[in-house]
Amino acid sequence: MNQPMKLFGTDGVRGVANTEPMTAETALKLGRAAAHVFKRDDKRRHRIVIGKDTRLSGYMLENALVAGICSMGVDALLLGPLPTPAVAFITRSLRADAGVMLSASHNPYMDNGIKFFSNDGFKLADEIERQMEAFIASGELDEIRPTAAEVGKAWRIDDALGRYIEFIKNSFPKGMTLDGYKIMLDVANGAAYKVAPRIFSELGADVTVYSDKPNGMNINDHCGALYPEVVRKGVIDHRANVGISLDGDGDRCIMADDDATVVDGDHVLAIAALDLKEKGLLANNAIAATVMSNLGLFQAMNEAGIEVHRSKVGDRYVLSTMLEHGLNLGGEQSGHVIFSDYTTTGDGLITALQILRIMRETGRKLSDLRRVVRKYPQVLVNVTVRDKPPIESLDGVQQVVAEVERALGAHGRVFLRYSGTEYVARVMVEGREEREVKVHAERIADAVRAALA
């Protein structure tokens, strides 16, 4: 049970669809393993919720998962295309034993992923993922074959979309509306393409929607949270109050203010933290942020007397840090923000509504609110690699990093890590001068390429 994980990364299992581990065969095995792990007793029917985004490969993997789950005597409840946080919510709402989301988040359409939630709506602990892997690797489940009436069945949850819409709207103050707000909304041709426009429209906003016609192959295709320029242009063209960009599975949100300036997760954390602190609602007067967050966020929080607990990159690690320190706010620069007073995972729609609430309550524009964070120039360079040896073992790379750190001194930093979901090394350099930061980042990236590319 203590063997290293081979299937699960930092956010479930992910890869190119129809190649290992993202094959129908492996999905079936994962369905069987999940059903076995979450089938806690034999005195009742057990149920696992399955949602997906809009990728073409979702049909293949969904059916394989259903077959695996039902073959172990557990029922499968199908939600269809809905955001990742909707799966977490509906798992809790229906009191299901577990939830599964088929999505590769912000990745291109040819990728896909499988991530699991426990019955409380939280992502699985590492030990449970290891247990599932061990069952698959050992073949221990091969002989478990319920028959006759003990085989599971599958059906669709017809009111899933409506349940989630009401849940999200309930995170917005009762009686408050978005009347008079003009919103540019990019749903990335992804999982939120139905629910997001309805939520903002039903709250009274004038909504212009982009990228809401998924065809299975256009998810995240030059749209969504990785391409905020879409809504930035919309804000300018339509003189809008705000732009909102979601990613393919709807759990992250990047915004554009009324000046068409990007407002990322660091800005959101600072704005929300100050609002909660002013109301006396910021748990333990602290937030969680990752090591990738901009130094400007840490300075803003320090000036406000708010402590910042740093976590590894990944919303699951942010949540772990929040639980460890009793926090109700945490997130990532990439737009994953967790408001745990409302939900158990990052939700791009809740994130957007919380910022809109603050705008409405204070009467301030987003361009004014975002200025609480004075950002340091930060450059991120991605280097494709063939394997991932320990970074500390790369002597040539470490030497260059040390030289850059000496050059930056106390007014900058270097962060080098591997992606948890792709064969990519991420080089991040931060400092006072953008031109200098770019030179340093490319120098480290060149060293990584020489060692690994």
If DSSP codes are grouped into helix, strand and coil, which group holds residue 387?
A: coil
Question: Is there a catalytic annotation at residue 105?
Answer: yes
C-alpha angle with apex 426: 421 to 431, nearest 5 degrees?
A: 145
Contact 428, 416 (CB under 8 A): yes
* Nearest-angstrom CA–CA distance, 96 and 74: 11
Q: Please give the DSSP secondary-structure letter assigned to residue 123.
A: B
Residue among 57, 71, 105, 320 flagged as catalytic: 105
Q: Which two tokens stand for residue 318?
A: 């942010």
Q: Which residue shows structure tokens 């009324």?
A: 258
Residue spans of alpha helices (H) in 261-313: 265-278, 295-304
SS3 assignment, position 183: strand
Question: What residues pair up with 256 in beta bridges, in sequence order?
Answer: 243, 262
Closest CA to 311 of 338, 290, 328, 295: 290
Burial string for 152-170 (b: 16+ CB within 10 Å, else e) reads bebeebeebbebbbebbbe
Cα dist from 384 to 14, 153, 427, 445, whole Å: 17, 43, 11, 10
Give the residue numbers marked as catalytic.
Answer: 105
